[in-house]
Amino acid sequence: MLVADFFRKKKKVCQLCAGKSVSYKEPEILKKYINEKGKILPRRVTGACSKHQRYIAREIKRARIIGLLPFTN
């Protein structure tokens, strides 16, 4: 086994491509995609594809506007 293979990270699969859905009406699910300060987590952390990362960000922003999620903690 090569050292490079040992440190190689396993590629994450986009949860939304696998069939899960995210809506601005479900803040419990959206909280998995924001950190403790209320910032949206990047793709490399969430494992979402670029299409669904934009969708997640849009839904988080909608939830913030109607008051389901805080802008900051």
**pLDDT tens track for 39-53:** 999 999 999 999 999
Residue 48 lies in a domain: yes
Q: Give the least confident one: 1-5, 35-39, 44-48, 64-68.
A: 1-5
Residue 5 reports pLDDT greater than 80: no
The pLDDT value recorded for residue 67 is 95
Residue 27 lies in a domain: yes
Mean pLDDT of 11-17: 82
Residue 18 lies in a domain: no
Q: How many domains does the chain have?
A: 1
Query: pTM (2 decimals)?
Result: 0.80
Phi/psi of residue 63, each to 5°? -65, -35
If you ran DSSP here, which 8-state letter would residue 34 be given?
B
CATH at 39: 4.10.640.10
Residue 8 lies in a domain: no
Contacts of 44 (CB under 8 A, 6+ apart): none
Q: Domain limits at 63?
A: 23-73
